[in-house]
């Protein structure tokens, strides 16, 4: 059963790791449905949003497992990496920058395995998926509410009763109408993303893109490898800030390079 101390985050992550290693990185929809059923049986209330995030985490773990399959004792390595990831996400409270990421990679290399460039990209996907999953956990929600309460402005002080009576006794002098503010120029239109195309590619074939991110990209008009391969710096900034909401992920996972390679292979 989930405990108040763990708030479900660690326990669900452990269940996900057990599932990936037991399945050896391969499963079908029936196995996924059975996994969800077991999670609910253990007392976890999995919302639709959390289910989607959990699916993203499993897909990221699957890719990492496959990339590290040649490693001696891959299951042990997988569990060690996940444990390091959980500790890192909790320590950072789901927020970190590039410097913290590099320190995390060093920690994983010291504790577990020598990471290739490709495996490092998949590790980034695991960490980013875990960040989203952590953000949906009760403890993270409580932390967000606490931060919001701290920054909530204090109510304006009410005037004393004597001041109110004084204001009521004084005659009100009519004020001249305020001058209309000059009209401001309309903001510049945002740069459009690469043109929508009819052909749809399987964007989940790109390391770092799971079903949920693919849906977000499709909704933003991106559905092909060619579009991802043609992303400009402005497009990347727009996508990371407004669509996928993962800062630095596109370059770190090399979506553009992977998209170009997939386009050439067809």
Q: Which string of DSSP letters, residue by residue, matches the chain?
A: ---TTTTTHHHHHHHHHHHHHHHTT---HHHHHHHHHHHHHTT----HHHHHHHHHHHHHHHHHHHHTTTSTTHHHHHHHHHHHHHHHHHHHTT---HHHHHHHHHHHHHHT-PPPHHHHHHHHHHHHHHHHHHHTSHHHHHHHHHHHHHHSPPPPPPPPHHHHHHHHHSPPPPPPPPPPPPPPPPPPPPPPPSPP-S----GGGSTT--HHHHHHHHHTT--SHHHHHT--HHHHHHIIIIIS--TTHHHHTTHHHHHHHHHHT-
- Record the pTM: 0.54
7: left (phi over 0), alpha (psi -120 to 50) or beta: left
Q: Quick check: is 77 in a domain?
A: yes
The pair of structure tokens assigned to 130 is 């875990």
Asked if residue 102 and residue 22 are part of one domain, the reply reads yes
Domain boundary among 93, 112, 142: 142
Asked if residue 122 and residue 215 are part of one domain, the reply reads no
Q: What is the pLDDT of residue 175?
A: 54
DSSP state for residue 41 in the 8-state scheme: H
Domain hosting residue 223, numbered range: 203-259
Asked if residue 107 and residue 33 are part of one domain, the reply reads yes
DSSP state for residue 205 in the 8-state scheme: G
Q: What is the pLDDT of residue 152?
A: 57
Domain boundary among 119, 142, 165: 142
How do residues 16-37 score in pLDDT, each as one tens digit? 999 999 998 899 999 999 999 9
Q: Quick check: is 89 in a domain?
A: yes
Q: Quick check: is 151 in a domain?
A: no
Q: Quick check: is 157 in a domain?
A: no
Q: Quick check: is 243 in a domain?
A: yes
Chunked mean pLDDT (size 10), the chain, 266 residues: 56 91 90 91 83 87 83 79 89 86 86 72 83 71 52 56 53 53 50 58 86 88 92 90 85 87 80
Number of domains present in the structure of the chain: 2
Asked if residue 235 and residue 136 are part of one domain, the reply reads no
State the Cα–Cα distance between residues 252 and 208, nearest whole angstrom: 9
Q: Quick check: is 149 in a domain?
A: no
Largest CA distance in the chain: 88
Asked if residue 242 and residue 122 are part of one domain, the reply reads no
Asked if residue 36 and residue 112 are part of one domain, the reply reads yes
Q: What is the pLDDT of residue 16?
A: 92
Q: What is the pLDDT of residue 4?
A: 42
Q: Quick check: is 198 in a domain?
A: no
Asked if residue 17 and residue 133 are part of one domain, the reply reads yes
Domain boundary among 124, 142, 160: 142
């Amino acid at each position: 059963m989930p405990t108040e101390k763990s708030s479900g985050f660690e326990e669900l992550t452990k269940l996900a790791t057990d599932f990936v290693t037991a399945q050896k990185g391969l499963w079908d929809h029936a196995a996924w449905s059975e996994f969800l059923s077991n999670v609910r049986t253990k007392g976890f209330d999995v919302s639709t949003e959390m289910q989607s995030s959990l699916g993203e985490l499993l897909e990221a773990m699957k890719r990492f497992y496959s990339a590290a399959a040649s490693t001696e004792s891959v299951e042990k390595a997988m569990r060690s990496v996940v444990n390091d990831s959980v500790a890192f996400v909790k320590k950072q409270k789901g927020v970190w920058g590039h410097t913290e990421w590099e320190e995390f990679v060093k920690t994983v290399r010291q504790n577990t395995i020598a990471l290739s460039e490709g495996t490092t990209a998949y590790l980034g996907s695991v960490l980013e998926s875990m960040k989203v999953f952590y953000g949906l956990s009760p403890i993270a929600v409580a932390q967000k509410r606490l931060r919001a309460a701290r920054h909530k402005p204090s109510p304006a002080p009410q005037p004393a009763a004597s001041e109110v009576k004084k204001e009521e006794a004084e005659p009100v002098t009519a004020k001249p109408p305020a001058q209309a503010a000059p009209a401001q120029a309309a903001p510049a239109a945002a740069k459009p993303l690469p043109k929508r195309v009819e052909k749809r590619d399987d964007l989940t074939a790109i390391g770092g893109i799971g079903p949920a991110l693919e849906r977000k990209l499709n909704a933003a008009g991106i559905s092909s490898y060619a579009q991802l391969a043609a992303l400009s710096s402005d497009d990347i900034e727009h996508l990371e800030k407004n669509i996928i909401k993962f800062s630095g992920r596109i370059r770190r996972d090399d979506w553009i390079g992977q998209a170009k390679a997939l386009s050439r292979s067809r």
